[in-house]
Amino acid sequence: MNKLIEANLKAVLEREGLEPKAGDLEQFSEIIELYVGNLRQLHSVDLGSEELAPVFRPEWK
């Protein structure tokens, strides 16, 4: 796995007090790298002033 992604994942796991299952980081390295790569595409589009999808509604139900 890409060293930076691996270090990032280990850091957030540690922050949450979690241990990865033995062998998982190797087993899942391909999907993790593909996912992180595609996350960058998510930011490739200029959304201008587009707001969030779930809009806060203040009324009582």
Helix 3-15 to helix 29-42 angle (10° resolution) is: 90
x/- string (CB under 8 A) for another protein, residues 2-41?
---x--xx--xx--xxxxxx--xx-xx--xx-xxx-xx-x
Q: How far is the CB of 50 from another protein (least distance, A)?
A: 5
d(CA 57, CA 32): 35
Q: How far is the CB of 48 from another protein (least distance, A)?
A: 9
- For residue 17 the two structure tokens come to 């007090």
> Could you tell me if 33 and 1 are in contact, meaning their C-beta atoms sit under 8 angstroms apart?
yes
Give the residues lining the site for another protein (CB under 8 A): 5, 8-9, 12-13, 16-21, 24-25, 27-28, 31-32, 34-36, 38-39, 41-43, 45, 47, 50-54, 61
